[in-house]
Amino acid sequence: MKKQIILSVIISFTSVQFLFAQFGQNKVQFKEMTWYYIQTSHFDIYFNQEGSKIAEFAAGASEDALSSIEKHINYRINNRITLILYNSQNDFQETNVTDEYLSEGIGGFTELFKNRVVLPFTGNYKMFRHVIHHELSHAVLNDMFYGGSIQNIISNNISIRLPLWFNEGLAEYLSLGWDTNTDMFIRDAATSEYLPDIQDLDGYFAYRGGQSVFHYIAQKYGDEKIGELVNKIKGKADFENGLKAAIGLDLEELNERWKKDIKRIFWPDMALYKDPDEFSKRLTDHRKDGGFYNTSPAISPQGDKIAFISNRDFYFDIYIMDANDGKKVERIIKGNRSVDFEELNILTPGLSWSPDGKRIVLAAKRNGADVIHVYDIAEDDASILPLRFGAIGTVNWAPDNNKIVFAGQTSSQSDIYVYDIAKDKLENITNDIFSDSDPSFSPDGETIFFASDRGEYLDTISIPVNFRVYDHNYSQSDLYSILVESSKITRLTNSPNCDETSPIVSADGKEVIFVSDKNGINNIYRKKIVFEENDSTSSIESVTEKPITNSLNGLYQPTISKDGKKLAFASMYQSAYNIFLMNNPYDISLEKDSLPLTKYLESILFKTKPEIQKDSSSETKVDSSGEQPDEANSFSTGVFIDSSSAKKDYSNFIFGKSDYLSYDSTEQKPNDLFNPKANLDAEGNFLVNRYKVTFTPDIIYANAGFSSLYGLLGTTVISFSDVLGNHRLIGQTSMQIDLKNSDYGLAYYYLPNKLDIGFEGFHTARFVYLQSGRDVNLFRFRNYGGSLSLSYPFNRYYRLDGGLSFLNVSAENLDNPFETTQKATYLIPALSFVHDNTMFGYTAPIDGTRYRFDVYGNPLLHAKQYGFYSILGDYRNYTKFWTDYALAFRLSGGFSNGKSPQRFFLGGIENWINRRFATGEVPLDSPSDFAFLTAALPMRGYNYAQQIGTKYALFNTEFRFPFIRYLLTGALPIMFRNILGAAFFDAGSAWNNSHQLKLFTKDVEGRTVSKDLLMGTGFGVRFYLLYFLLRVDAAWAYNAQHFTTPIWYFSLGGDF
């Protein structure tokens, strides 16, 4: 949940229930972070403790990337850009800049409230630089098209919307140009014939497919056409017209030409390379098994079983299958829905069998850090090793069964670690600034093989004292070995323009098998690493590796049985990752010692096509390896200063360069926006400032809400926050004549720590016509007061909410001033326990469980007159099946007692637009009802307030299914696509006296019929209409003998 209550609190202050009205998973701040910032010419860069290394890298990379982006699109930014850096993916997931939970597949984001770029460091500087460039492309486009904020869009009524493929594709193209990974992805889409049309490029295709479209435009019309296209779209204020003006084609014509070009490039590859099915046996098949991600294979030492990660059951789980035929699949670990296996690190996976084949070791996220689990297969039980890292990848077991090697990430680097289980001893084997990954032991356990971007730096002595990663060529990944005892490193490969990863040593220790993209496609190679007397060379680097595959598709994560007879790997093939098996890999000998180059790699090496011009920050391997970063664009850290102090000590600073920029983008700027003051000392050294909380506006907007009791509500919301989102100030107002007739409120939320704290003050007025004697009079109900709210998450799935509310409630008859105004004052302590591990679908949860238990009341203030206590429970379970179908089950109830107990009513559905009350009016009998009357919904087949009582029980079940599938094409207009259906049954009752409760009775004919039990059934559809989720239901009440005429419900919002 974390802060999902924030806006709902400020919009509906009418009930103490607002403190507990939400489910949702938690965003937990497990770490207390101390923040600092530096200022470059164009950026304010924020980082926390231990993050100075990545901050100094980002300072150079961001200015370099901005220079490239501005030159590409011929635009200069008008506002400074904020970068917020986190030391790991796990830290990044704790950010308060956004309230959304960030899954491990999200490597950074750019938000539009303040145009902030938020990034994690994941242990790899090459990837870090790419993400910086990608996200800055979004920030520059936000500045160019939208003025850098949502408020500017609202204020200036900016209506232009850029398609997702355009946004993400342009960002990928500006940061990468063209690259091997995209080349492999598009090749599979082209040769397997599932490449979507441009307008349908969404999901991951928005990135890779969009990048391909821009690559085509640049190759066809020249690189400068990209900038012209962007400026034409901005000038025309319309995407289609801008596209036509820039390249003379509409989207349909561009799509036809682009797809023809893709076929022309990639279809001839089918004659040069082989499908994975042709040289190996497919063990998983997403077309039959479901899911699209079968990866991280780990073959058992005996070669009879393979453990792997798959999302065939919608979540990412760990399975074991037969290594010979892929059958006898058994799930051993459930991921993504428990505290111990919150995430399985699918982007840097690592599964490994113990040498005796009895246990599996794996890394997973748990409570804000990565840990290592040891799973005992026979006992079906997992234990956790006493290790916590920002990230852990590629875990492997040592041959002695007592040690584990893994790649562990700190705030500035990724190193190779060895943990001795018996001795409980951890040792950092590499311990330097370089990005090391994919470790594995030699058969004798004395050597570790790994991949690294270290180049020629084989020991710490050779690394210069003033070494900076920014100046290093980190674009190339090669293979190395290191002796565990002496830490001596040997370089095994040196292949320019390519990456080599995943080394595995043969059983005799004489050869290494690994993955290389040296021909433009990830293939598996083997290389000799032990020399004999008659060998002509003694340099491992000079030994030519030999391919054992010639694949059309990229191969990943090889794993070999102990005897070397079986090799399994994952491959992106026919639109999904699947696992394949090869027999006797060391006996395979291809006709040639080298593989045919892809057209992309051939064009780079032999200049057969014009190169795409990019700056040195491009992550395309050949381009970035050919040009070193400018030394002027770097700096190093020193001692921090506290800029909040009135007296600054300039002896504490970080050392930089005054000639930081390689170009001047401020020529046309008359102000000092891009010339920050006091960010450098006289020698050009950057000062590190202590972070200060400063509120700036997020958004000011008119908001429309809908209340089940009071209908449409309009308010103006004003939101302020600090840069990190840790402090929120939200104001709300809906002025009507004067203050006593208006709604207004102010809330402050303190969110940087694990315990979230909120303070709210509010006033609410509602006008309702009610029966008073024989007349119908206009009543004004008022509620004003304040509250303290607390939320303590134990982890992502469990939390404890608490609060204390002070309420002054009154009911005044405006048509009869002689009637005494009813007033009541309450002091409400409250406590709630919440669990939620659900998976959300298109409109509602579709899998998992959520429940909550609430206790609150008024035991202290005027208890003899207004005292009460209430206990509520709500349990929901969702089961997903057949991919798009789900069964939802809910059981809820409430009990209230005391001098003035809370009342609950049944009947109707939430946010019912065409609502009707069984009571003829809103059932408010007292000020207590205005504060505490609670709707127990849905109870379809009946009107609102069909039953009212101080106790209630409610059962709901729904079968949710696709009514019109979202993949449907043809003549149906877009608003009628992706319509979901629901068939439901509701049953419940609200009552006051349990002794008088009678669910069934006999009618005059002696038949059993329902009395106090309400039952209803029906069906409906859910779809988005403009920006609203609309529900349309038809429901019949049922009394165990017959059905009534249907009631039609038109309502807003998702299902329970």
Question: Which pLDDT tens digit goes with each residue over 442-478?
Answer: 999 999 999 999 999 999 899 998 898 999 999 999 9
Cα(733)–Cα(743) distance, integer angstroms:
5
Cα(29)–Cα(31) distance, integer angstroms:
6
Cα(336)–Cα(346) distance, integer angstroms:
11
Cα(280)–Cα(571) distance, integer angstroms:
11
Residue 512 CB neighbour total at 10 angstroms: 25
pLDDT of 883 = 81
- For the cut 60, the answer to whether the pLDDT of residue 403 exceeds it is yes
Give the pLDDT band (50/70/90) at residue 976.
low
Cα(816)–Cα(872) distance, integer angstroms:
37
Give the pLDDT band (50/70/90) at residue 174.
very high
Length reported for the chain:
1056
Q: For strands 689-690 and 934-936, give the pairing.
A: unpaired
In the chain the domains, ranked by start, together with CATH numbers, are 160-272+596-622 (no CATH), 276-595 (2.120.10.30), 841-848+857-1056 (no CATH)
pLDDT of 663 = 41
pLDDT of 649 = 36
Tokens of 106: 């999200």
- Segment 102-115 shows an average pLDDT of 93
Q: Give me the helix-helix angle, 180-191 and 599-606, nearest 10°.
A: 140
pLDDT tens column, 326-337: 999 999 999 999
Q: Is 572 exposed, middle or buried (0-12, 13-18, 19+ CB in 10 A)?
A: buried
| Residues 924 and 933 sit within 8 Å (Cβ to Cβ) | yes
Residue 51 CB neighbour total at 10 angstroms: 25
pLDDT of 671 = 57
Residue with tokens 């997020």: 698
pLDDT of 608 = 59
pTM of the complete model = 0.91
Beta bridge partners of 781: 766, 811
| Residues 121 and 85 sit within 8 Å (Cβ to Cβ) | yes
Give the pLDDT band (50/70/90) at residue 634.
very low
pLDDT tens column, 367-378: 999 999 999 999
Long-range CB pairs of 503-506, under 8 A, 24+ apart, other chains included: 503/438, 503/440, 503/449, 503/450, 503/451, 503/479, 504/440, 504/449, 504/558, 504/559, 504/560, 505/440, 505/441, 505/442, 505/443, 505/447, 505/449, 505/529, 506/443, 506/560, 506/564, 506/586
Ranking 41-50, 129-138, 346-355 by mean pLDDT, the lowest is 346-355
Contacts with 486 (C-beta within 8 Å, 6 or more apart), sequence order:
none
Ranking 141-150, 294-303, 445-454, 621-630 by mean pLDDT, the lowest is 621-630
Cα(96)–Cα(902) distance, integer angstroms:
36
- Segment 564-579 shows an average pLDDT of 96
- For the cut 60, the answer to whether the pLDDT of residue 1037 exceeds it is yes
| Residues 706 and 690 sit within 8 Å (Cβ to Cβ) | no
- For the cut 80, the answer to whether the pLDDT of residue 384 exceeds it is yes
Cα(764)–Cα(762) distance, integer angstroms:
7
pLDDT tens column, 199-220: 999 999 999 999 999 999 999 9
- For the cut 60, the answer to whether the pLDDT of residue 609 exceeds it is no
- For the cut 80, the answer to whether the pLDDT of residue 185 exceeds it is yes
pLDDT of 606 = 81
Cα(964)–Cα(248) distance, integer angstroms:
36
Residue 235 CB neighbour total at 10 angstroms: 12
- For the cut 60, the answer to whether the pLDDT of residue 647 exceeds it is no
- For the cut 50, the answer to whether the pLDDT of residue 646 exceeds it is no
- For the cut 90, the answer to whether the pLDDT of residue 675 exceeds it is no
The mean pLDDT of the chain is 89
- Segment 975-1002 shows an average pLDDT of 91
- For the cut 50, the answer to whether the pLDDT of residue 653 exceeds it is no
Tokens of 163: 């398609």
pLDDT tens column, 134-149: 999 999 999 999 999 9
Cα(125)–Cα(413) distance, integer angstroms:
9
391-397 sheet: strands from edge to edge: 391-397, 403-409, 414-420, 425-428
pLDDT of 667 = 46
pLDDT of 413 = 94
pLDDT of 712 = 74
What value, to the nearest 5°, has the Cα angle with vertex 69 and ends 64 and 75?
A: 120
- For the cut 90, the answer to whether the pLDDT of residue 684 exceeds it is no
Cα(482)–Cα(491) distance, integer angstroms:
9
| Residues 110 and 69 sit within 8 Å (Cβ to Cβ) | no
pLDDT over 90 for what percent of the chain?
77
| Residues 662 and 684 sit within 8 Å (Cβ to Cβ) | no
pLDDT of 977 = 64
What value, to the nearest 5°, has the Cα angle with vertex 976 and ends 973 and 978?
A: 120
pLDDT tens column, 904-924: 999 999 999 999 999 998 999
| Residues 117 and 98 sit within 8 Å (Cβ to Cβ) | no
Residue 172: name the closest of 147, 142, 198, 205 by CA.
205
| Residues 94 and 28 sit within 8 Å (Cβ to Cβ) | yes
Q: Between the CA of residue 544 and those of 529, 540, 541, 592, what are the distances in Å?
A: 10, 9, 8, 12
- Segment 486-506 shows an average pLDDT of 94
Strands (E), 80-156: 81-86, 109-110, 116-120
Q: Between the CA of residue 473 and those of 217, 608, 734, 737, 907, what are the distances in Å?
A: 30, 25, 58, 67, 68
Residue 453: name the closest of 408, 413, 419, 488 by CA.
413
Residue 913: name the closest of 703, 767, 715, 706 by CA.
706
Q: Between the CA of residue 488 and those of 438, 457, 480, 845, what are the distances in Å?
A: 18, 11, 10, 54
Sign of CA dihedral 399, 400, 401, 407: negative
